[in-house]
Amino acid sequence: MALPQTAAAPVIRVRGLISRFGAQVVHNGLDMDVPPNEIFGIVGGSGTGKSVLLRTILGLRSPDAGTVEMYGKDVQQLAAVDRSALVRSYGVTFQNGALISSLTIAQNIQLPLREYYPASERTMDELADLNLALVGLAQEDGKKFPSQLSGGMVKRAALARALALEPKLLFLDEPTAGLDPISAAAFDELLLYLHSQLRLTVVMITHDLDTLFRTCSRVGVIVDGRMTTDTLDGMLQNQTPWIREYFHGPRARAAGRPAPGKDKHG
């Protein structure tokens, strides 16, 4: 399957997505486009289906209606060999890192490499060291187990594993959740560096307003089963009640964001 695309074509294209759980409709005609080389943030209230959307994009859940395309291919219609190629084209980090506790950090990083690119143990070790360095971890950290790392280091280790196959598309699920402000800011700076150096397209679910404002090109907000997409400046002007409360409410003001009726300079 030919994954490269023209610059104008979106990497991810969702049209008319409907997701149901019994009588509950989570997505009701949701549309979303993510162009190449963008950091795209997804936000929404509890129960709006952010993780369901991510699982559907990854092909882990079938939509009840609508289509999800990645690199111009319908993810639900792919043959097995094409799905394997697609999986190798992206990396994913899950909330809390999702590292395997019984494996060292280096062994966790090597998991996708062993699955898709068999190589000698020496090569595996060298590749693990390279990925550790890429995310700002030391070679010695690779010999430790996840329980021996701080929360911020676990997030970096999970990112190193997600980047092991050199993907151009990266999915992040709440990457700064549970981190203190200093560690979260450091992760944001790492993401911006990797985005620039590796020319990544990033799709990120986050509740962290600081992360949104530091890193995202555009934001998609899920409200009433649909997605409103705009730049951050555009979102600050949006009058939809939930969006306005999110970007101008108490948490936003605590983070130094403009209060209602004020511009960015207060």
pLDDT for position 257: 55
Burial string for 90-125 (b: 16+ CB within 10 Å, else e) reads bbbbbeebebeeeebbbbbbbebbeeeeeeeeeebe
Global confidence as pTM: 0.88
Percent of the chain with pLDDT over 90: 67
- pLDDT at residue 2 greater than cutoff 80: no
Q: What domains appear along the chain, each with residue ranges and CATH number?
A: 12-89+168-254 (3.40.50.300), 97-167 (no CATH)
Residue for token pair 């409103």: 228
Task: Compute the distance between CA of residue 134 and CA of residue 140 in angstroms, rounded to an integer.
Answer: 14
Q: What is the pLDDT of residues 192-201, one digit of tens each?
A: 999 999 999 9
pLDDT for position 255: 52
Q: What is the pLDDT of residues 8-38, one digit of tens each?
A: 589 999 999 999 999 999 999 999 999 999 9
Q: Band of the pLDDT at 128, cuts 50, 70, 90?
A: very high
Task: Compute the distance between CA of residue 172 and CA of residue 190 in angstroms, rounded to an integer.
Answer: 13
pLDDT for position 226: 96
Q: What is the pLDDT of residues 56-92, one digit of tens each?
A: 999 889 999 999 999 998 988 888 888 888 888 899 9
Q: Band of the pLDDT at 159, cuts 50, 70, 90?
A: very high
Residue 66 has phi, psi (to 5 degrees) of 95, 180
Task: Compute the distance between CA of residue 190 and CA of residue 135 in angstroms, rounded to an integer.
Answer: 7
